[in-house]
Amino acid sequence: MIVYSEDNIHETRRRGRIEVICGSMFSGKTEELIRRLKRANFAKQRVEIYKPAIDTRYSDAEVVSHDSSSIPSTPIDSSASILLFTSEVDVVGIDEAQFFDDGLVDVCNELANNGVRVIIAGLDMDFRGKPFGPMPNLCAIANEVSKVHAICVKCGQLASFSHRTVKNDKQVLLGETMEYEPLCRQCYLQAIEIDNK
């Protein structure tokens, strides 16, 4: 008969998982990511956080939410870099996942298969209402998907769309309230109709 210590039992039960937090701009995705990561830190888990190097809106080296909550992070240019920094970690947080390359899906799968809890936040749709970057595939492989909503600035209903208020056709345009507004489906369709006139 083999007797395991409590520590050994804990290690053998460690289960990797992928959690995706998605929604429109101003819906609280990053705020929820930070909340989960801070809880993991409080529980003395080993946590690493990554964000795309191109996202310098609030800080070069921190993940910062619209309500100014923040947590230290490592800015990276490629999803493959995550694997270089993640030995001996329990939890990996990834913000603005829509800006990463499609390799992020394999990276997250590899981490979860090795027992790491992976928490990802990102826009599920771009300003055209189309699936954004690796987010659809991340949602497909996730153990849990949390879709969060903003409030429509036109009618007060739940908002799922990020309407771009400036003229620019590039898919990636970093911005805030001067460049984007959260809208419900009906108000988004009306705004697009006006934009196209």
Match 């036109």 to its residue by tokens. Answer: 154
Match 């990053």 to its residue by tokens. Answer: 30
What confidence score (pLDDT) does residue 64 get?
Answer: 60
**In a 10 Å sphere around its CB, with 0-12 CB exposed, 13-18 middle and 19+ buried, how is residue 15 labelled?**
exposed
Answer with the residue of higher pLDDT: 59 or 167.
167
Q: How far apart are CA 176 and CA 25, in angstroms?
A: 8
Lowest-confidence pick of 10-14, 27-31, 47-51, 163-167: 10-14
Q: Is the pLDDT of residue 5 over 50?
A: no
Q: Is the pLDDT of residue 12 over 50?
A: no
What confidence score (pLDDT) does residue 58 get?
Answer: 56
What confidence score (pLDDT) does residue 167 get?
Answer: 83
Contact 134, 164 (CB under 8 A): no
Output the pTM of the full model: 0.84
Is 96 a residue of the active site? yes
| Average pLDDT for the chain | 86
Q: Model confidence over 78-132: pLDDT tens digits?
A: 999 999 877 789 999 999 999 999 999 999 999 999 999 999 999 999 999 999 9
Q: Is the pLDDT of residue 9 over 50?
A: no
Q: Is the pLDDT of residue 74 over 80?
A: yes
What confidence score (pLDDT) does residue 80 get?
Answer: 93
Q: Where are the alpha helices (DSSP H) in 43-184?
A: 80-85, 104-113, 135-141
Lowest-confidence pick of 41-45, 49-53, 118-122, 142-146: 49-53
Q: Model confidence over 146-164: pLDDT tens digits?
A: 999 999 999 999 999 999 9
Count of positions (residues) in the chain: 197
Q: Is the pLDDT of residue 172 over 70?
A: no
Catalytic annotation, pick one of 19, 32, 48, 96: 96
Please count the other Cβ atoms lying within 10 Å of the Cβ belonging to residue 34: 25
For strand 158-159 and strand 144-148, is the pairing parallel, antiparallel, or unpaired?
unpaired
Contact 137, 102 (CB under 8 A): yes
Q: How far apart are CA 132 and CA 155, in angstroms?
A: 25
Q: In the predicted model, what is the mean pLDDT of residues 136-142? A: 97
The architecture (CATH level 2) of 15-149 comes to: 3-Layer(aba) Sandwich (3.40)
Indicate the residue type of 82: I
Contact 18, 138 (CB under 8 A): yes
In the chain, where the domains are located: 15-149
Q: How far apart are CA 97 and CA 173, in angstroms?
A: 14
Residue 150, beta-bridge partner list: 159
